[in-house]
Amino acid sequence: EELIDAIVEEQGITHLEAEFQVEAAEEEAGLADEHQEEVTEGLADAQQELEELQAELVQAVAEGQEVPPAAAELIAEAHARLEECQNALVDGRYGESFGQFTAASHLIDNAESFLEGEVSSEELTVIVESTQERRIEDHQQYVEDYEEHVEEW
């Protein structure tokens, strides 16, 4: 993402055009295949891990533990990232797929840390809020770039 931002700034092009440039360069360098392979291998494991976390969260609530809404939001956000990962993989956007997979993996790690008592409710809330803000910003940027690209055509 930082690379794409730097290209946008340096070349004065849209975010979408910069993404295309990065994906083309990754394909040339063989990174797209690496990204595709890593995501394909790890996706099923990540989905299973997320399902287990969700079950643990339900169990914790059933046992009367105080679980902040941010925990459920974190799991929902991880689900959304994995879904975006799958969509990008199907569309052949391997760099995007890898990025979404990585984001989902970090969210899963944070959820595990919370359930193990390593992350506080307050820290969890900050993680969820920053993740959601970034996702909204990314979506808005994508829409703006798409609209600009359409207008140019």
pLDDT in tens, 56-69: 989 988 999 888 88
Say if residue 98's pLDDT is above 70: yes
DSSP SS3 for 109: helix
The pLDDT, as a whole number, for residue 48 is 92
In order of 11, 12, 59, 63, 64, the CA distances from 80 in angstroms are: 31, 31, 22, 27, 27
The pLDDT, as a whole number, for residue 4 is 80
Q: Is 106 exposed, middle or buried (0-12, 13-18, 19+ CB in 10 A)?
A: middle
10-38 pLDDT tens trace: 878 777 777 777 776 766 655 556 666 77
Whole-model pTM: value is 0.65
Q: What is the pLDDT of the chain when averaged over all its residues?
A: 81
Q: Could you tell me the two tokens for 148?
A: 């600009």
Residue type, 19: E
The pLDDT, as a whole number, for residue 41 is 77
Say if residue 125's pLDDT is above 70: yes
Q: Could you tell me the two tokens for 5?
A: 């931002």
